[in-house]
Amino acid sequence: MLPMDTSTLPAMVQKPATLLGNKLFQMASANDSKWQKDAADQNFDYMFKLLIIGNSSVGKTSFLFRYADDSFTSAFVSTVGIDFKVKTVFRQDKRVKLQIWDTAGQERYRTITTAYYRGAMGFILMYDVTNEESFNAVQDWCTQIKTYSWDNAQVVLVGNKCDLEEERVVSTERGKQLADQLGLEFFETSAKENINVKAVFERLVDIICDKMSESLDSDPTLVNSQTKGTRLTENPNPQNSSCQC
Ligand SMILES: Nc1nc2c(ncn2[C@@H]2O[C@H](COP(=O)(O)OP(=O)(O)O)[C@@H](O)[C@H]2O)c(=O)[nH]1
Ligand SMILES: [Mg+2]
């Protein structure tokens, strides 16, 4: 059995003071005042770390602000210094705390530090329906997820800016086709008009919860046993990733 490195565990944890998330929680709280504030609310059953990835300017930051704060600004504000936002949702009788990470401009280089992927349980892979290049980059982003994330990470493909119908260059059909090909669920959204934003997060949480129950059904000791915790570590070459790319 490999020694367990809890720093690489996905955030599929129960209360942070308990079980496998303990070390992860302590590490984050040491450096981050936002985290300390939000961590004070320990009234949740699960915490999931989610990432929004995709080319620069597809609308990731806007999407996060729309969901977390219900706000939108048409000014392009380059993402600097924002690490994550926290939001708690109720799904399947569970109070699920979401820690949603934005990419802080790193996406410009199409490579994001592997530390960013560490521990993520879900990804929103976003392109812009008015930008062909962002659509063509989806495959690359998918490969990055497959390479750097936990093998059970769940991914939803999102075509954002669907409010800009006249400027659209990627049809809904092509989006769906690519999603099918990659084995992902698919949504078209508008952070501006608040179309499908909540639906994307809720669906992602649901598929993570379903995946978790499947894992727990097949091995109920998975979450509760520290010794079996090795199975939750990252796998750089996943065999059963939901992402088929
Ligand atoms: N029309 C429209 N514009 C959007 C939408 N989402 C984002 N934008 C705009 O697209 C630009 C880039 O958005 P931003 O969230 O900074 O993209 P990021 O680089 O992926 O974080 C900004 O000018 C936003 O106002 C949307 O759903 N519809
Ligand atoms: Mg941004």
Tokens of 116: 């960013």
pLDDT (tens digit, 9 = 90+) per residue, 211-242?
Answer: 888 877 776 655 543 333 333 333 334 444 45
Structure pTM?
0.77
- Where b means 16+ CB within 10 Å and e means fewer, 135-148 reads bebbeebbebbbeb
Tokens of 120: 């993520």
Most ligand 1 atoms within 8 A of CB, residue of 57, 106, 135 to mutate: 57
All domains of the chain in start order, with CATH: 42-216 (3.40.50.300)
Q: How far is CA 98 from CA 1, 48, 88, 169, 198, in A?
A: 31, 5, 6, 32, 13
pLDDT (tens digit, 9 = 90+) per residue, 78-92?
Answer: 555 556 888 999 887
Cβ of 16 closer than 6 Å to ligand 1, yes or no, is: no
- How many A from CA of 53 to the centre of ligand 2? 9
Q: Which atom of ligand 1 is nearest to the CA of 78?
A: 16
